[in-house]
Structure 1
Amino acid sequence: MKLNSIGLDDLKTKHIAQDLNQLLANFQIYYQNLRGIHWNIKGKRFFDLHVKFEELYNDANMKVDAIAERVLTLGTTPLHTFDDYIDAAKVPVGKNISEDEKAVRLIVSSLTELLKIERNILDKSGDANDEGTNSMMSDFITEQEKTVWMMKAWLGETV
């Protein structure tokens, strides 16, 4: 087994970095969706949702940077073109969404997809003894599960 400069199995970290790039692409779509619903939300809940969506897109933007930097730390290049993001993304694209429930449902469905990818990375990073990636995924999952619960509660639904 060949180790990289941070002491991890080189082959395993290349696979983890590929998965992180997939997560990066999906986060970029999620981020852009959040920007769109932040800009376009209308109705009686505008003030509350406008602020919440801004909070979420600022958080997503920070996570995008953290993911890209982790990809670099693992010795590969982060995806950085819109073509790459579209090709790799599973998160639904939300276009011209201005209604509150549709916007919140888009967030829930997006986070559901992100959580699937993150759990897969969590398993692989644990197997590779990659604590840096593992810790990041664990933190993301904890935060996003809570956001899904809150959004579902807002919709009057259970997780």
Structure 2
Amino acid sequence: MTLNSLGLDTNKTKDIANDLNHLLANFQIYYQNLRGIHWNIKGKRFFDLHVKFEELYTDANTKVDEVAERILTLGETPLHTFQDYIGKAQVPVGKNISEDEKSVNLIVDSLTELLKIERIILNKTDEANDEGTNSMMSDFITEQEKTVWMMKAWLGETV
């Protein structure tokens, strides 16, 4: 076993960085979805949703940067082209969505995919003793679970 300067197994960190790149690709699609629904939302709930979507895309943009920087911290290179993102992402792509419920459902569906990826990373980082990435995933999961709950409540649904 070879340890890097962080004291982590280099084989495990390479695998974790690969998973983080997968997460990064999905976050970039999620971010673009949020920008699109922010720009295109229409209807009686415009003012509330327009502001909420801006809050969410600002947060997603911050998380994109955090994930990319963590990949670099682990000694790997973050993906940085839309071609790479599209090839790796499972988050649904929302195109020309302007209706409130469709917009909120897109957020819920996207976060559901992100949470699946983050839980995989959380388990791997726990096994690799990678507290930095583990803590990041734990924080992301906690925030996103709350957002899913709130969005589902807005839709009149339960988690």
Range of TM-score over shorter length: over 0.9
Counterpart CA distance in 2 for 1:35 and 1:4 is: 38
The amino acid that maps onto 2:79 is L
Counterpart CA distance in 2 for 1:5 and 1:19 is: 20
Counterpart CA distance in 2 for 1:7 and 1:75 is: 12
Match of residue 42 from structure 1 = 42
Give the CA deviation at 1:17. Answer: 0.1
Match of residue 18 from structure 1 = 18
SS across alignment from 1:92:
coil
Match of residue 27 from structure 1 = 27
- What is the alpha-carbon root mean square deviation over aligned residues? 0.2
Counterpart CA distance in 2 for 1:123 and 1:15 is: 12
Match of residue 91 from structure 2 = 91
Aligned length in residues? 159
Q: Deviations over 1:36-90 (max 9, x none)?
A: 0000000000000000000000000000000000000000000000000000000
Match of residue 56 from structure 2 = 56
Q: Which runs of 5+ in 2 are unaligned?
A: none
> TM-score, normalized by length of structure 2?
1.00
SS across alignment from 1:56:
helix
Identity of aligned residues (%): 84
Q: Which runs of 5+ in 1 are unaligned?
A: none
Runs (4+) of structure 1 exceeding 3 A deviation are none
Match of residue 117 from structure 1 = 117
Give the CA deviation at 1:121. Answer: 0.1
SS across alignment from 2:79:
coil
Q: Deviations over 1:100-128 (max 9, x none)?
A: 00000000000000000000000000000
Match of residue 81 from structure 2 = 81
> TM-score, normalized by length of structure 1?
1.00
Give the CA deviation at 1:140. Answer: 0.0
